[in-house]
Amino acid sequence: MIHQSSNFDFTFLRHGESVGNAEERYQGRADYPLTDAGRAQARALAERWLKDGMKFDLAVTSPLVRAKETAQIIADILNVPIEEDPIWMERDNGAMSGLTREEVMKLFPEPEFYTPYDSFGESGEGDWELYLRAGRAVHELLKRPAGRYLIVTHGGLLNKVMYAILGIPVQANSNGPSFRFDNTGFAMFRYVPSRHQWRFLRLESPA
């Protein structure tokens, strides 16, 4: 049952360490499971939240396995229902998907200049396309009943979620601020519909 509130409380969480992270791959839509360390990260965060009395009405997760595993571990400990939504998937990084850093540097050297409208990895989502999806994802959340939501997703998309909420425009060459979410790092916001007011509560990385 949704907690009775006129406000939205959102916790945007990046998944735990995945095999792709450990191998330093450009994961994108490539579907890597969590490592043992990643599962331990998710459990540690959930147990901390349980001790702190954190409560959620619903966990919404990307369907990619590294996010789903993270969400399931936390949901089991905190007794939260889970819903999958593909809008929270990581950036489609085209032909870079699953490649190592060295392979990407060799096959896709960064151009001297590129616009937000250019594709990423030849056929993937450029910065503008990713920004628009992030905005749609936040908008879809606000169509739900007011309440407390955990969103388990990915670092690339989360960077643009921060842009969408804070009203930061995307720029050429990916200039502008970069919001770094380490594995199981999270941002907490409150949205007050009666005032159309976003309150930025916390941005945290694991210790």
Q: Which residues are catalytic?
A: 15, 90
Q: By the 8 A CB rule, do 15 and 183 touch?
A: yes
How many angstroms separate the CA atoms of 23 and 16, rounded? 14
Give the rounded distance of the alpha carbon of 42 from its chain centre.
14
Q: What ranges make up the beta strands (E) of 70-196? A: 82-84, 99-100, 148-153, 186-192
How many angstroms separate the CA atoms of 159 and 120, rounded? 15
Dihedral pair phi/psi, residue 18, rounded to 5°: -105, 170
Write out the H or E segment, with its range, that includes residue 61. Answer: strand 58-61
Secondary structure letter of residue 38 according to DSSP: H
- ∠ CA 30-36-38, rounded to 5°: 60
Q: Distance between the two ends of the chain, CA-based, in angstroms?
A: 33
